[in-house]
Amino acid sequence: MEKNNTSSANLTRPKWIKTLRTLVQGGFALFCLYAGYRYYLFYLWATDQSSTYVPRPPSVEAFLPIGALVGLKRLILSGNYDMIHPAGLTIFLAALCIGLLLRKGFCGWICPVGFASNLVEKTAKKLKILWKVPIWLDLTLLSLKYQLLFLFLVLIAWKMTLKDLEFFHNSPYNLAVDAKMLLFFLSPSRLSIGIMLFLIAISFVIRNFWCRYLCPYGALLGLLALASPFQVKRDQKTCIDCKKCEKTCPASITLTSKKTIRTGECIGCMECVSVCPVDDCLTLALPGKKKNSILLLPAAVLTTFLLFYAVAFITGHWYSVVPPEAMKEIYSIIAEIPHP
Ligand code: SF4
Ligand code: SF4
Ligand code: SF4
């Protein structure tokens, strides 16, 4: 039975946080679809399949995280910002900053793949086909994304010299990499189709399969999030062990076994705090202040993200310096461009 100090909806932990998250994530996802469509129109123009010029939307570079990692190391070693894909590097830096300060808020509030994953999960829940992965398998699978991250970090962050980075940066492949990505989806190989169908199908059975077990981007953000000052805290004395928090947690965190949620899996969605029926049992804590409005975290995530965009836009670090005509030339030989 619930104790008397059950809460009513308030602004410290509004009940509509889940709806707000869906709207914010959905907004970003729609924007990405729109940007993808605009890029497709640009591609048609650049490959002489259309006479209508449509400007290339820089935001598609968000889907080039490996190039952004190369760009980050090049920035650190040479001081030069990636001006071929500046938006990609800006979005990557924003995600890293959010990870360090605001948990995996990028995953919880911005990433459209995370949104798609949440939608699949909701459908699977309704269909009652979600499978509870045994702990031994969960832990084994969890290591996969860290292994992938380790591989990328070794190959790029550790092994690539400045000469290698410059070679990659100026290669035709780097200039055409967004078009290569588009072609990957427009005319996928049988193997790619098989892998994508497998990932979609398994996500209906295993909650957030891609995000939880395979995404190296999320793994990196999770490691950074270990240093985040924002933490969900649980008051063991008032907890009534109703497990509502665990049932709602999209990251499958066993909240009732912890006093402080420090894990790199927490995406900062704040749904656990919102559903807890006991006042101040679960709180969003900061050093020196145990109880904060749960709206603070998403507000900070969105502000940080928009701030990076605004600074990049104002200082000329958003649009690529490569003229559309030069891209047109590169795209005309795209089939012959090998991976460097
Ligand atoms: S884990 Fe990867 S795909 Fe999933 S929400 Fe985070 S960044 Fe996006
Ligand atoms: S612990 Fe809470 S804030 Fe973190 S992912 Fe789970 S429900 Fe969201
Ligand atoms: S912390 Fe979780 S288990 Fe405890 S009262 Fe809140 S929702 Fe229930």
- For the chain, domain boundaries: 17-336
User: Among all ligands shown, which has an atom nearest to the Cα of 115?
Assistant: 1
How many alpha carbons fall within 13 Å on the CB side of residue 20?
17
**pLDDT tens by residue, 116-153:** 999 999 999 999 999 999 999 999 999 999 999 999 99
Average pLDDT, the chain: 94
Cα angle 174, 176, 178; round to 5: 95
The residue nearest atom 1 of ligand 2, judged by CA position, is 266
Residue in 43, 336, 29, 319 with CA at minimum distance from that of residue 178: 43
Summarize the confidence of residues 216-244 as an average pLDDT. 97
The residue nearest atom 2 of ligand 2, judged by CA position, is 272
Q: Identify the pLDDT of residue 13.
A: 85
**pLDDT tens by residue, 59-68:** 999 999 999 9
pTM across the whole model:
0.94
What is the rounded CA–CA span in Å between residue 271 and residue 19? 10
How much distance in Å is there from the Cα of 125 to the middle of ligand 3? 21
**Which residue is listed with tokens 């991250």?**
149
Given a cut of 90, whether residue 332 has pLDDT beyond it is yes
Q: Identify the pLDDT of residue 10.
A: 64
How much distance in Å is there from the Cα of 246 to the middle of ligand 2? 8
Q: Confirm if 279 and 5 have CB atoms less than 8 A apart.
A: yes
What is the edge-to-edge ordering of all strands in the sheet holding 282-286?
260-261, 231-234, 282-286, 289-292
Given a cut of 90, whether residue 9 has pLDDT beyond it is no
The residue nearest atom 5 of ligand 3, judged by CA position, is 239
* Ligand 2 neighbourhood includes 276 CB (under 6 angstroms): no
Residue in 236, 237, 217 with CA at minimum distance from that of residue 225: 217
Residue to mutate, 255, 274, 283, ligand 3, most ligand atoms under 8 Å from C-beta: 255
Both tokens assigned to 132: 């509870």
The residue nearest atom 7 of ligand 1, judged by CA position, is 218
